[in-house]
Chain A
Amino acid sequence: GENVEQHPSTLSVQEGDSAVIKCTYSDSASNYFPWYKQELGKRPQLIIDIRSNVGEKKDQRIAVTLNKTAKHFSLHITETQPEDSAVYFCAASISRAGGGNKLTFGTGTQLKVEL
C-alpha cells in the first residue's frame, strides 16, 4: 500500500519568514495530494491540494509543488503569521471518477510561528 513520509516533525520559524514542509510517497499511481491544517482538538482543514497533472499550485501565501518523478511534494508558506501555527499533514491518494479512494496521511509537522 501507499506510504507517505513527512519532514520535519517540528518546525519553528520567525513571523514573516517562510516555512517548507516536505513529503514523499511510495505509490506511483497516486495522483491526488492534499495538505491539511489541524488545530488542537479540531478537524483537519484542507488548505491546498494538487493533482498529478500539475507541477505547482499557489493560493495567496500558500503554494504546493509536486515532482512526480521523484515522488515528492512540498508545502510552502510565505510571510508566516502566528495564526499559521498548527499541525500540518500531507496526504496522498489514487483518485478515480466514481471511486472514493482513501487518503494516506503523513506523520504531521508541528509548525510554530514565533513573534
Chain B
Amino acid sequence: GAVVSQHPSWVICKSGTSVKIECRSLDFQATTMFWYRQFPKQSLMLMATSNEGSKATYEQGVEKDKFLINHASLTLSTLTVTSAHPEDSSFYICSARGWGRALNTEAFFGQGTRLTVV
C-alpha cells in the first residue's frame, strides 16, 4: 500500500505553546488529507478535511483558529495546535487519499502523533 509518514510520533509540550505535526505522502500525490483525533479507548473523530491549495473544512465543534491546517502541496499537510492546553492531549492521526490509489477510495494513515500537554 501507499506510505504516509507522520512526524513527530510523540511530543510533550508546555501549556500555552504551539505544536506542529507533519503528514507526508511519500509515494503518491495526496489530493485530500484528513486529520483525526483519538482519545483513549475511543474512535477516530474527524477534525478537518483539507484539499491541496484550498482552505480546510472543519467539522462542527472544531476550532479552526486553534487547529491550523495547511495543505500547501500534494505531498504535505500540517496541523498546528496553537496555545495547547492539557485537554488537547490526544492521539492525532492523518490520512490521505489521492490519485492512482484504489480509485480515490482507500485512505492511508500516518503513524499518529501522541501529544501530551503539561
Q: Could you give, for residues 30-51 of chain B, a 1 whenever the CB lies within 8 Å of some chain A CB and a 0 otherwise?
A: 0110100000011111100101
**Complex contacts, B49 vs chain A, CB 8 Å:** 100, 102
B contact residues, total (Cβ < 8 Å): 27
Question: Nearest-CB distance from A8 to chain B (Å)?
Answer: 14
**Complex contacts, B42 vs chain A, CB 8 Å:** 107-108
Assembled-state Cα–Cα distance A46/B2 (Å): 12
Cβ-closest chain B residue relative to A43: B109
Question: Nearest-CB distance from A78 to chain B (Å)?
Answer: 24
Q: From the candidates A44, A100, A107, name the one contacting B104 in the complex (CB within 8 A).
A: A100
Partner-contacting stretch, out of B12-20, B62-70, B81-89, B110-118? B110-118
Question: Nearest-CB distance from B67 to chain A (Å)?
Answer: 16
Do B109 and A49 touch across chains, with their CB atoms under 8 A apart? no
Do B106 and A34 touch across chains, with their CB atoms under 8 A apart? yes
**Complex contacts, B114 vs chain A, CB 8 Å:** 41
Q: Could you give, for residues 25-53 of chain A, a 1 whenever the CB lies within 8 Å of some chain B CB and a 0 otherwise?
A: 00000001010000001111110010100
**Interface assignment of A115: CB less than 8 Å from any CB of chain B:** no
Do B1 and A95 touch across chains, with their CB atoms under 8 A apart? no
Question: Nearest-CB distance from B51 to chain A (Å)?
Answer: 7
Cβ-closest chain A residue relative to B104: A100
**Interface assignment of B24: CB less than 8 Å from any CB of chain A:** no
**Interface assignment of B21: CB less than 8 Å from any CB of chain A:** no
Do A107 and B43 touch across chains, with their CB atoms under 8 A apart? yes
Q: From the candidates B43, B98, B111, B112, name the one contacting A100 in the complex (CB within 8 A).
A: B98
Binding site for B on A (CB under 8 A): 32, 34, 41-46, 49, 51, 89, 93, 95-100, 102-108, 110
Closest 6 CB pairs of A and B: A100-B32, A100-B97, A43-B109, A95-B105, A105-B43, A105-B44
User: 14 more A-B contacts (CB under 8 A) besides A41-B91, A45-B109, A100-B51?
Assistant: A34-B107, A43-B109, A43-B110, A44-B109, A46-B1, A95-B105, A97-B103, A99-B104, A100-B32, A102-B46, A103-B34, A105-B44, A106-B43, A108-B42
